[in-house]
Chain A
């Protein structure tokens, strides 16, 4: 090929920063870097666990009841100096959360209940502690025995109103759905809920079933793009407060978060490449120079000065396990892990503590650059963020989104040369 054509092409493919991974952490990193003025590419195979598990923003749900999050985090960092939060620090965690919040102005804001964890009902009729909650879920933190009517839909198999109602000593009602040629998934229903006539039929039907209840709990699919409109319209019709309950994946509230980031990033001129997975990282000595993306039969290369690896854990593809070990498939970074496969999992599923494999991950220095077990830096222009990091138990700690947001933010600041 003529080098004159190749040259501008190469320039177009050159960025200040490439973020690998499009879960919450990658999105947060891309947002932070863009605000600093970095020319950024974000590239990802899928939406990470954002659209599976994230309904609200957990920061540290494991804290004892009633403790202010800031105080809880300070203690936590003292107790667990190897935890990702310890590398970010309380102040920057708060900055990161504020930055996240700034992306969600009304009508779909996130809020805390008095800067502490609050308890929200789940699709299993349990309560779950979490920190930042979208306005559509606030009502769930107020439920009282007998005061809430739970609504399910016959034909929607991922939520059962009576199951939840029986656990929470309330009433449940299961409404029929119109016959359609497609399956009634959460995605399909979230779209249908945005159609006025569909929604009004449901509202009128529920009104007939309401007795003394002052609240109505729905599975979390009240609209993908305009949840507030859906919520307020239903409330008006029924004369009761409406709230959403987190259910089995996929998560519609997670998809709302993803869509908002995507909209913002594209608007700010970030190069956004969804559906591509990085097949290879090009390194030279301790530097990463570029990445290759293989779309059979074409391989495309992208180059950058700095990189953030935010590829998640096993589901995201950031970590993989064969019969002997856990490994990191893209940059081939060393993975901190239990000694042998027999030590990965406890004999019980509910072992009373987290399964040992979940604290496996990438070790980093204080600036989130990858190191080996001895602490030697491996790559000097790569930063690690999100759940791929070692030494946390995000499922049991209930810290998934907090870790993603805080480390994504911090990695982008570090990679952009802003370390304070």
Chain B
């Protein structure tokens, strides 16, 4: 099939869908292609922190300012994706007060509101913290659900004319002089092939930026840094807990829905696929985060996972184009003579909107247009809906509902609703779009049930045990690094079911 559009965006992470939304509001047609599902890369593999900018206040005031500004905007346009937890920067005895003083001054300079709390005040807010702490600084951190945020951006973009093709991989790229003439793509589900002609092409592939650029014979200086995280089976604190010291491994605990996320590490990688969380990283994260919250030593972990941060290495002659150390926008027309190609990479989840704005501004400039950005003013579609939990609890207490996932209270009805509205190419998509498989058993029960419901509704009729096995194998990657204590019981139960009762 042949398609023609103004802008072709490659990559369905926060940045890609953010650009699609931004352009759609400016009335510029676009097509976005993504080889997996939304948020398959770093956008979906982070600790879900709504940065206040505090973490960068001392080391990178520019990035801190951006974070703070975007933090304020996201609270307005995406309140349903955010939990306003606030954050604490906790000073432990070994940290002393030096960093805290620099931190307070720096926050003040970049406009991050702070409140200094005494030991007793801090412990009253967060009784699980180490009682020996010295003090804490309160900042407007929060937690954010990246997947919902991205889905909402995508929905809004589509409502305003953007076209999004998931599970569609770019297969070829045809250069014609100083321009990319067309791009070939393939639907990985149905097998259909597309030829897409676009006036401009945006490379929003994050850590995969160089894999894309290679097709055009280009390369940028980029390092890949793996960050690993652990998930506990319950929420350990109410606030985001940071360590008040220079950024380091294992210095953050983020509450997120029913769990807490312990982060992070930083390990340089050579390739963007096939990475895992090592036992050393698991030990390090527990050792460091438990200094803040001692209960982590005994906490039950339900999963380990990792994401890859694409870190732009500044090229001397390109330095001025790096908008900040946070993210980088490259006009390949100026840099390499390919006039209709732009790469946007790096950055933080919290600045995705700003990255989209700057990219769209550059596109408009190239097109000679003067339509301003409006994404900071327009709320996302479901922004006024009350946030989930209260509604959900009401539903569960007044009606008898068939739950598929007992850990996260996901009902059969919710799945059926999704099936009505979304055209799904991959079962994994349903897992991304619901809380299924995100609780303590990590899908040990509910994925079988999901398959059962799909058979029941005649949405599938094939060999589902192959999917089940694939899912269990994928699940294993996140579980294997944290198997000790009660998690071993869970593991024995799962093997007893799938290898035992079901003989898979």
Chain A contact surface mostly: loop
Out of B404, B469, B491, which one reaches A350, CB within 8 Å?
B469
Q: Is B464 an interface residue (CB 8 A)?
A: yes
**Which of B178-186, B232-240, B366-374, B475-483 contacts the other chain?**
B475-483
- Most A CB contacts (10 A, CB to CB) among B403, B448, B488 go to B488
Q: Is the CB of B452 within 8 A of A163?
A: yes
The 0/1 profile, CB within 8 Å of B marked 1, for residues 316-353 of chain A is: 00001111000000000000000001101101111000
Q: In whole angstroms, how far apart are the Cα atoms of A228 and B137 in the complex?
A: 68
Q: Chain B contact residues (Cβ within 8 angstroms of A): what range?
A: 35 or more
- Contacts of A358-399 to chain B: CB distance below 8 A: 358, 395-396, 398
A419 at interface by CB-CB < 8 Å: no
Say which one of B45-53, B102-110, B350-358, B493-501 lies at the interface with A. Answer: B493-501
- A315–B489 touching, CB < 8 Å: yes
Complex: how many Å from CA A358 to CA B468?
Answer: 22
A174 near B504 (CB under 8 angstroms)? Answer: no
From B400, B456, B463, contact of A179 by CB (8 A) = B400
Minimum distance in angstroms from A283 CB to a CB of chain B? 26
Contacting pair A314 B502 (CB below 8 A): no
A161 to B455, CA, bound (A): 8
Q: Chain B contacts of A127 at CB under 8 A? A: 503
Chain B: CB-nearest residue to A152: B456
Encode B162-184 as 1/0 by CB contact (under 8 A) with A: 00000000000000000000000
Total interface residues on A, using CB and 8 Å?
Answer: 58
Give the residues in chain A near B463, CB-CB below 8 Å.
167
Cα A404 to Cα B428 with chains together (Å)? 39
Please state if B503 and A122 are interface contacts (CB–CB under 8 Å). yes
Check A163/B464 contact, CB under 8 A, given A128-B501, A246-B501, A396-B499: yes
Q: Say whether B453 faces chain A, with CB atoms less than 8 Å apart.
A: yes
Q: Chain B residue with minimal CB distance to A120? A: B503
Chain A hits for B501, CB < 8 A: 53, 55, 122-123, 128, 246-249
Q: Tell me whether A126 and B485 are in contact (CB under 8 A).
A: no
CA distance A273 to B404 in the complex (A): 35
CB–CB B489/A248 < 8 A:
no
Question: When A49-B496, A174-B456 are in contact, do A155 and B473 touch as well, CB less than 8 Å?
Answer: no
> What's the nearest-Cβ distance from chain A to residue B117, in Å?
33
When distances are taken between beta carbons in the complex, the residues of chain A under 8 Å from B404 are 157
Question: Are A128 and B502 touching (Cβ within 8 A)?
Answer: yes
Asked if A123 and B495 sit within 8 Å, CB to CB, the answer is no
The listed residue with most A CB atoms (<10 A of its CB), out of B484, B492, B498, B504, is B492
Q: With A53-B501, A124-B448, A183-B400 in contact, is A315–B493 under 8 Å at CB?
A: yes
Q: Determine whether the beta carbon of B480 is less than 8 Å from that of A321.
A: no
User: A357 at the A/B interface (Cβ < 8 Å)?
Assistant: yes
Inter-subunit contact A163/B455 (CB<8 Å)? yes
B475 touches A349 (CB 8 A): yes
Which B298-341 residues have C-beta < 8 A from chain A?
none
User: Min CB distance, A282 to chain B, in Å?
Assistant: 27
Interface residues in A101-129 (C-beta closer than 8 Å to B) = 122-129
Q: Identify which of residues 430-463 in chain B touch chain A, using a CB-to-CB cut-off of 8 Å.
A: 445, 448-449, 451-453, 455-456, 458, 460-463
Among B455, B462, B484, point to the contact of A322 (Cβ < 8 A): B484
Contact across chains for B500 and A53 when beta carbons are under 8 A apart: yes
Complex CA gap A345/B503 in Å reads 19
Q: A52-B496, A321-B488, A322-B484 are in contact. Are A126 and B504 (CB under 8 A)?
A: yes
Which residues of A lie under 8 Å from residue B461 when comparing CB positions?
162, 166
CB of A159 closer than 8 Å to a CB of B: yes
Give me the interface of B with A, judged by CB distance under 8 Å. 279, 283, 400, 402-404, 412, 445, 448-449, 451-453, 455-456, 458, 460-465, 468-469, 472-473, 475-476, 480, 483-485, 488-489, 491-493, 495-504
Known: A160-B456, A315-B496. 6 other contacts (CB 8 A): A157-B403, A158-B449, A160-B449, A174-B456, A345-B491, A350-B504
Q: Nearest 6 CB-CB pairs, A to B?
A: A160-B452, A349-B476, A128-B503, A124-B502, A162-B455, A163-B455
Binding site for B on A (CB under 8 A): 49, 52-53, 55, 122-129, 152, 154-155, 157-163, 165-167, 172, 174, 179-183, 246-249, 313-315, 320-323, 341-342, 344-345, 347-350, 355, 357-358, 395-396, 398, 400
A-B contact pairs, 29 of them (CB 8 A): A53-B496, A55-B501, A123-B501, A124-B498, A125-B465, A126-B504, A127-B503, A128-B503, A154-B456, A160-B449, A160-B451, A163-B452, A163-B455, A167-B463, A167-B465, A315-B496, A320-B488, A342-B279, A345-B491, A347-B480, A348-B473, A349-B476, A350-B469, A350-B472, A350-B473, A350-B499, A355-B495, A395-B496, A398-B503
